[in-house]
Amino acid sequence: MTGFALGAEQEEWCGQLRALAADRLRPLADKGEPGRVNRPLLAALGELGLLERVFTSGALELCLLRESLAYGCTEAETALALQGLGAHPVLRSGTPRQRAHWLPQVRAGRAVAAFALSEPGAGSDAAALALEAVRDGGGEAGGGGWRLSGEKCWISNAPEADFYTVFARTGEGPAAKGVTAFLVPADRPGLSGEPLDMLSPHPIGRLSFDGVPVGPQDLLGEPGRGFRVAMDTLNLFRPSVGAFAVGMARAALDATLAHTAARRAFGGVLGDLQAVGHRVAEMATRTEAARLLVYAAAGAYDAGSADVPRRSAMAKLLATETAQYVVDHAVQLHGAVALQRGHLLEHLYREVRAPRIYEGASEVQRTIIAKELYR
């Protein structure tokens, strides 16, 4: 990327991804059941080599991948992103044995990964999590393992994932300093879950841990360093959440341009009305600004810049808030037709709301930005 403009090869690749999403992945998504893991869709993402790109791409390429897929098939984009989110801690902090066992299956779309951080009382305040990891033998420091007890909530891909990256309180220190990350296979005794019926169509559920056994072989990183594992993952994926939002905004904008250029009203077409033209201009300008900020944040991550947390937070904040604005106004300009089940904008209207909350709500992003500015 040169001066915020994509190169010809990047533009061509994005175009190919948009076509692939519409032609190959959209039909598979349509056959899936809302709120359930779509394994045929995941398998297709693996066969096409797209899941592999999640683990071998830099932040900018990941953003282009997510934005392009979101434009044509949000379900495919989300399925791909959740594989990356759940398995990235294994890639970065897992043991050679963990990586050898799980990552090939994730990349092929055979194993479903999940990132289990949020809890009923610890959503945006991730350092407040309460899932407890007690040493076997009543908490003796010499114990060989732990027992996990508590609950996780609003976990994407739960309860159908094949393994979970779980963050639990082991107590080495207060707040974030006492959190440890574990890789927990779904078949561990004491682990159960149930799906939640949510506004957005992708699978989300609750997990219950009733003395689930984990040992040193299940650690992701070192005890007490789990919060660092979580933040390492979120700093990479926050700009690409913004890219997902930009993809939805661009799809809504293009649909609006086509509709207002053709829809006849008041002796002409809607696009001839100054109020409509000005609103579309605002939608386009905000979308472009969000896109550029996302690319800049991704570029900073790839360059190893020190200001990645601030840039990532800015990118996610602006892009998700912008997408909400654009989709809402797109629905307004389409009128009642956009409220029908199955319409693109009805689908985007349900999809666009959640990204302003997950991986740190907009208010949390503002807090991160302010702290970084005053640092």
Beta bridge partners of 208: 151, 192
pLDDT of the chain along its 375 residues, tens only? Answer: 445 678 899 999 999 999 999 999 999 999 999 899 999 999 999 999 999 999 999 999 999 999 999 999 999 999 999 999 999 999 999 999 999 999 999 999 999 999 999 999 876 676 778 899 999 864 434 458 999 999 999 999 999 999 999 999 998 777 778 899 999 999 999 999 999 999 888 899 999 999 999 999 999 999 999 999 998 898 888 889 999 999 999 999 999 999 999 999 888 899 999 999 999 999 999 999 999 999 999 999 999 999 999 999 999 999 999 999 999 999 999 999 999 999 999 999 999 999 999 888 999 999 999 999 998
191 within 8 A of 184, measured Cβ to Cβ: yes
**What is the C-alpha to C-alpha distance for residues 197 and 203, in angstroms, rounded to an integer?**
9
**338 Cβ contact list (under 8 Å, min separation 6):** 330, 331, 345, 346, 349
The full set of domain ranges for the chain reads 8-108, 113-224, 228-374
Cβ-based neighbour number of residue 153 at 10 Å:
18
Q: Calculate ∠ Cα 60-113-136, nearest 5°.
A: 125
**What is the C-alpha to C-alpha distance for residues 333 and 124, in angstroms, rounded to an integer?**
34
Q: Could you say which DSSP state residue 172 is in?
A: S
pLDDT of residue 151: 97
CA 35 vs. chain centroid, Å, equals 16
CATH label, 113-224, candidates 1.10.3720.10, 1.10.20.140, 3.30.70.1380, 2.40.110.10 = 2.40.110.10
CATH architecture of 8-108: Orthogonal Bundle (1.10)
**What is the C-alpha to C-alpha distance for residues 193 and 205, in angstroms, rounded to an integer?**
7
Q: CATH assignment of 228-374?
A: 1.20.140.10
Residue type, 292: L
Beta bridge partners of 134: 147
84 within 8 A of 55, measured Cβ to Cβ: yes
First to last CA, the chain: 30
Domains 113-224 and 228-374 belong to one CATH topology: no
Query: Where does residue 2 rank: exposed (0-12), middle (13-18), buried (19+ CB within 10 A)?
Result: exposed
Beta strand residue intervals within the chain, DSSP E: 113-116, 132-135, 146-156, 163-169, 179-185, 191-195, 204-214, 264-265, 268-269
For the whole model, what pTM was predicted? 0.92
Q: Could you say which DSSP state residue 360 is in?
A: S
44 in the Ramachandran plot: left (φ > 0), alpha (ψ -120 to 50) or beta?
A: alpha
| Residue in 119, 288, 359, 372 annotated catalytic | 359
Residue type, 357: I
Catalytic status, residue 194: no
